[in-house]
Structure 1
């Protein structure tokens, strides 16, 4: 089979498989997934960027990253609408660059989506610990995995409807947070030491601005995961572009609003390097015993749950797509006979995430916390995948001009070029400031590539999924 036939064969295999994924998601549910996947980034993770860049420096970082994400999403949507496949970037890069390209994009996406949930689970534990100081945050994180893996196994329609519900609650809570702290906002508080500890900009602030890139990316990380639900969308060529456009606009507004208001209500340095910056910022305004604070903690959990739950959906579809195509053990490529969900993939990714939660000894290094390092590892995977996806877009535009494109990237080739350049610059910068994590990331890619080479003949024999290798 030649790669030029990939989109048709993918869809044919997906639609005809007797135990295939259920196509039942509408536009609002996809928007809920798009925003829900990311919205935990508004609740925690981003404040680590203040530690190196300061408030103003990090604002600059965030604007640069938002430009990259905006151009990326408008370009990425072309690929998603043209090749609606559960593998997402894995399928796009395979189609453009063959098996090795598919491997690299698939593994990068897998690293992004498997390492993001444990960071969010730890934040869930930290939020619960505010209410129940005796509760071990790590045990609470494991409990979150058990509950939401189970919900994802029960069915995608139930999971996506729940995702939309908690996403709307999370957005409401962020608006409540901004409203409650607004009376105490002071521009002087926000700008004090805002350039890596200095009150005015100098060249010395530039390294901090670049070092903070992973935490600005956390504001938007995983929005591309909607692509992994493409086979389960009722009308992916129409609904996914709408979901992506609405999602990125929603997230940009919320990210800037939350960051500015949180940094202006007191001493912002006390919010850097913690997992619960919003409750702590609100505590400055209303005190420890206020009902507003308790409401924020409880409703704030919805934001974390929305992302946690949504990313479980995302990583499970990525594992499932790669397993049914021979890039991961075939055991993970099975669908539950009753619920029509990739239950084994859900459990497999969860096992890796739970292990990461208890990995203090090997992931707490480089002067950063466990959560910060897990976030950074997820960012490595995302940036490599972004670069490969944009390269695939350019390749497919040139090599297959007749490929059906229900949605085309606006301002082509400018938007995808900006996204590609931004991803490569960010990838190089993150590696420069995190050499040990960069080495671990490369090691994971190399180990996976060894498996990829050893299972060459296994992939050639696969009769379905449209991704059997056609070398030679």
Structure 2
């Protein structure tokens, strides 16, 4: 309990290296799968342009977002910043969008875990393996944040090592001719016809970096958030940008990249082009490659649970989900609630397979809609708080203000506009979630206030 307010509170146990592990681990599965769907519409060269633009946007965003995280170290992260800047409605939009981002990303990662295991065990149903992953890592997150964070750091380091091994193994067969062939939406030379494909590929470039902002949800559990979070964020984004470029270039140069454009396991398949399907290197990549997926899956469970917990603690969700486990001091009910939604998404093929895309591609897109909405609201919150709360303690100030946050905001608006254009049906589902959630929020306001008083 918080000694001042009596509300449920989390223990401050995380150090800088653990926060860096969470920052990179949350995202690193994006280096293993998901991004290659961008090749299907943009080609390798077109997608490279898109990815570099998104990398620049994320870099500007993280340098700006860190100001908010260190000024308001709250388990709700963007929800808390937007609530302070724009009141309850702003808090709801940011909180609901973040929740959609973090609840829909894990099923996509779980399905990729299943796909990787299916390479090794063809008889194993990928969906069964995905549900098994949920059960294992929800349990680990319930046992304790310190244990969970140390596990996250270990698997993140192993995942980085494996990506470096992948680059090293495929490098002897790398050919720039492979990478550039048909690199502009299937054409060898750039033309204006390639531009629509580059815009359509935005969600999959975002997948390279999606959820790094989840460190904000661990701020309340950091020992020294004002110092450790900026270090974790900045070193984390640098690590991820370098890995994303390396993985994309080496995979595309390994052979016929079109064979990798619509699958959940592009790295093993790229390596197969070089070493053959019976190589020990391939088997090692499949096993160690799981660490990257596990790192993100495990880390995002931590993120969504803190978001559900914070929203419930502030009365935006039923107070039932703000309960902390008496022994492990973790938000166990929030962990289980997000897991139940994710498992349902795994088996919702007919509902989520929209617009002719695969289940994984649509889950990724839904998660990205949540992320981009949160980025826009967060940058607007930064500008608003600079004006409305000029004397607020800011241990870290966004560099090159207002240019960095303005670029991040403009980039996010471009992403949102193009994503709506190319994914109108999924956006409709996303908007329906937000509207329905807000209606429920308004209708249950009085009962939630009573529950919140009981929790406190």
* TM-score, normalization by structure 1: 0.95
Separation in structure 1 between the aligned mates of residue 394 and residue 92 of structure 2, nearest angstrom: 24
State the shift of 1:327 in Å. 0.6
Alignment partner of 2:434: what SS? helix
Give 1:86's aligned residue. 75
Q: Secondary structure at the match of 2:297?
A: helix
- The one-character-per-residue Cα deviations of 1:303-327 (angstroms, maximum 9, x if unpaired) are 0000000000000000000011111
RMSD: 1.4
Contact 1:13 1:465 in 2 (8 A): no
> Paired residue for 1:5?
none
Judged with a 3 Å threshold, the aligned counterparts in structure 2 of structure 1 residues 368 and 18 are, in CA distance, closer, same or farther, namely closer
Structure 1 distance, partners of 2:449, 2:329, is 26
Please state if 1:135 is matched with 2:118.
no
Q: C-alpha displacement at 1:227, in angstroms?
A: 0.2
Counterpart-to-counterpart distance in 1, 2:390 and 2:326:
40
Please state how far the C-alpha of 1:457 moved relative to its aligned partner.
Answer: 3.0
- The CA distance in 1 between the partners of 2:164 and 2:245, in whole Å, is 12
Look up the match of 2:255.
266
2:272 to 261, 278, 283: 283
**Residue equivalent to 1:120:** 109
Q: Distance in 1 between matches of 2:327 and 2:155?
A: 26
CA contact (8 A) 1:56 1:195 kept: yes
Measured against aligned partners, the alpha-carbon deviations of 1:382-421 in whole angstroms (never above 9, x if no partner) come to 0000000000000000111100000000000000000011
Matched, 1:351 2:346: no
In the alignment, which residue of structure 2 is the partner of 1:51? 40
Query: Does the CA contact (< 8 Å) of 1:380 and 1:438 recur in 2?
Result: yes
Q: Deviations for 1:230-271, whole angstroms, at most 9, x for unmatched residues?
A: 110000010000000000000000000000000001000000
1:169 maps to which residue? 158
Which 10-residue stretch deviates more, 444-453 or 117-126? Answer: 444-453
Among 357, 367, 370, the residue aligned to 2:359: 370
* Aligned mate of 2:205, from 209, 213, 216: 216
User: 2:325 is matched with which residue: 307, 324, 336?
Assistant: 336
Residue 361 of structure 1: aligned partner: 350
Structure 2 partner of 1:470: none
Aligned-pair CA distance for 1:144 = 0.1
Corresponding residue for residue 396 of structure 1: 385
Partner Cα separation in structure 1 for residue 288 and residue 11 of structure 2: 31
In the alignment, the residues of structure 2 paired with residue 378 and residue 82 of structure 1 have an alpha-carbon distance, to the nearest angstrom, of 26
Unpaired segments ≥5 residues, structure 1:
1-11, 467-472
Partners of 2:2 and 2:50 in 1: how far apart?
A: 43
Mapped partners of 1:291, 1:395: distance in 2: 55
**CA 1:288–1:325 in 2, change beyond 3 Å: closer, same or farther?**
same
**Aligned counterpart for 2:190 among listed residues 201, 208, 211:** 201
For residue 15 of structure 1, report the CA deviation from its aligned partner: 7.0
Q: Is the partner of 1:350 in helix, strand or coil? A: helix
What is aligned with 2:224?
235
Report what 2:403 is aligned to: 414
Task: Report deviation, 1:429.
Answer: 0.7
CA 1:337–1:401 in structure 2 vs 1: closer, same or farther (change >3 Å)?
same
Match of 2:49 among 60, 74, 80: 60
Preserved CA contact (<8 Å) 2:211 2:300: yes
The runs of 5 or more residues in structure 2 that have no matched partner are: none
Residue 458 (structure 1) shift: 4.3
Q: Name 1:439's counterpart in structure 2.
A: 428
Instruction: Give the aligned length.
Output: 455
